[in-house]
């Protein structure tokens, strides 16, 4: 197994288990992941293991289309270039979004002294996505991403009352990790594209099973296609289980 594989594993595990995350940080001391420490991580929490396998499977299957050599080449090239500000990325993307056949609105909420930017992405009349993003040296760090129904008045540190948006918020963690790894400085732009692809949440049938509702789990119950996957830069609606 490659280092990239472990990296993926750690990113996913960290979301579910902060203890495990500390082990992973130790494991990265020399800039490389140590296999024995990764194994230590694996036995810390059965919850973490379950989450790992679910999300790893989803990531590997769902975002295959983004992983291309040309992207990796471009990522390396961009590392030395000046980082664009979050606001300018949003401005550029908003201009592009005007050509979409549906409405997407990005509202920047605050810019604190620590330069963390909070903003809301309103996708059509479907959902509000609240993000808190911290500018980084090479990539912007998404500290929080959470989906809400269009009628919900909640802040970025709360959760939606709707199961469908709780589920999409869960899937978004994996998407952010993957996009960050593969898109570097373009991550935010791709993330906005990915969010906009949810404009057909209530109408799209699953690309695979051709149905709208699917029994996601005992907790989430029947849900529409909650995932958007890319293939050849085109997004498809799908149930996570159908990928
Ligand atoms: Zn399906």
What residues are paired with 236 via a beta bridge?
229
Note every long-range contact of 132-135, with CB atoms under 8 Å and residues 24 or more positions apart, other chains counting: 132/156, 133/86, 133/188, 135/83, 135/85, 135/86
In the predicted structure, residue 126 carries a pLDDT above the cut 80: yes
CA of 236 to the centre of ligand 1 (A): 11
Instruction: Give distance in angstroms: CA of 61 to centre of ligand 1.
Output: 14
Predicted confidence band of residue 53 (pLDDT cuts 50, 70, 90)? low
Per residue in 163-190, pLDDT (tens digit) is 999 999 999 999 999 999 988 888 999 9
Distance 100 CA to ligand 1 centre (A): 25
Tell me the average pLDDT across 2-25.
44
Q: How far is the CA of 199 from the centre of ligand 1 (A)?
A: 18
Residue 83 or residue 29, greater confidence = 29
pLDDT above 70: residue 58: no
How close is the Cα of 218 to the center of ligand 1, in Å?
Answer: 17
pTM of the entire predicted model: 0.68
Q: What Cα–Cα distance (Å) separates residue 104 from each residue in 67, 94, 133, 135, 164?
A: 26, 8, 19, 23, 20
Centre of ligand 1 to C-alpha 216, Å, is 10
Q: For residue range 193-241, list pLDDT tens digits in order.
A: 999 999 999 999 999 999 999 999 999 999 999 999 988 788 999 999 9
In the beta sheet, which residues pair with residue 214?
223
Q: Give the C-alpha separation, 37 to 67, whole Å.
A: 27
Q: Ligand 1: distance of its center to the CA of 69 in Å?
A: 29
Q: Cα(166)–Cα(164) distance, rounded to whole angstroms? A: 5
Q: Does the pLDDT value for residue 21 go beyond 50?
A: no
Band of pLDDT at residue 140, cut at 50, 70 and 90: confident
Min mean pLDDT across 140-144, 145-149, 193-197 is at 140-144
Angle, vertex CA 242, rays to CA 236 and CA 243, nearest 5: 60
Helix (H, G, I), strand (E, B) or coil at 233: coil
pLDDT of residue 65: 54
Q: How far is the CA of 109 from the centre of ligand 1 (A)?
A: 36
Higher per-residue pLDDT: 18 or 231: 231
Ligand 1 centroid to residue 126 C-alpha, Å: 20
Q: 123: which DSSP letter?
A: E
Q: How far is the CA of 27 from the centre of ligand 1 (A)?
A: 38
Q: Separation of 210 CA from ligand 1 center, angstroms? A: 6
Under the banding of pLDDT at 50, 70 and 90, the label for residue 54 is low
The dihedrals phi and psi of 88, each to the nearest 5 degrees, come to -70, -35
Write down the pLDDT at residue 7: 47
Q: How far is the CA of 207 from the centre of ligand 1 (A)?
A: 7
The alpha carbon of 16 and the centre of ligand 1 are apart by a number of angstroms equal to 26
Environment class of residue 180 by beta-carbon count within 10 Å: exposed (0-12), middle (13-18) or buried (19+)?
buried
33 compared with 216, residue with greater pLDDT: 216
C-alpha to C-alpha distance for 234 and 243, rounded to whole angstroms: 15
Q: Which pLDDT belongs to residue 1?
A: 43
Position 231 scores a pLDDT of 80
């Amino acid at each position: 197994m490659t280092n990239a594989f472990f990296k993926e594993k750690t990113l996913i595990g960290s979301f579910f288990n902060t203890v495990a995350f500390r082990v992973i940080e130790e494991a990265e001391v020399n800039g490389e992941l140590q296999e024995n420490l990764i194994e230590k991580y694996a036995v810390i929490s059965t919850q973490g293991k379950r989450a790992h396998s679910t999300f790893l499977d989803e990531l590997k299957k769902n975002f295959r289309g983004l992983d291309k050599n040309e992207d990796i080449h471009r990522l390396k090239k961009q590392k030395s270039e000046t980082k664009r500000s979050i606001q300018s990325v949003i401005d550029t993307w908003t201009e592009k979004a005007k050509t979409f056949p549906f409405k997407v609105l990005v509202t920047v909420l605050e810019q604190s002294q620590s330069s963390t930017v909070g903003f809301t992405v309103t996708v059509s009349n479907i959902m509000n996505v609240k993000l808190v993003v911290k500018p980084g040296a090479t990539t912007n760090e998404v500290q929080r991403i959470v989906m809400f129904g269009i009628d919900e008045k909640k802040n970025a540190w709360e959760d939606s009352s709707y199961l469908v948006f709780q589920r999409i918020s869960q899937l978004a963690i994996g998407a952010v990790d993957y996009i960050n790894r593969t898109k570097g400085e373009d991550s935010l732009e791709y993330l906005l594209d990915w969010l906009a692809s949810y404009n057909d949440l209530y109408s799209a049938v699953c690309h695979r099973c051709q149905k709208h509702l699917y029994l996601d789990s005992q907790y989430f119950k029947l849900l529409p296609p909650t995932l958007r996957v890319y293939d050849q830069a085109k997004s498809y609606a799908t149930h996570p289980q159908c990928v």
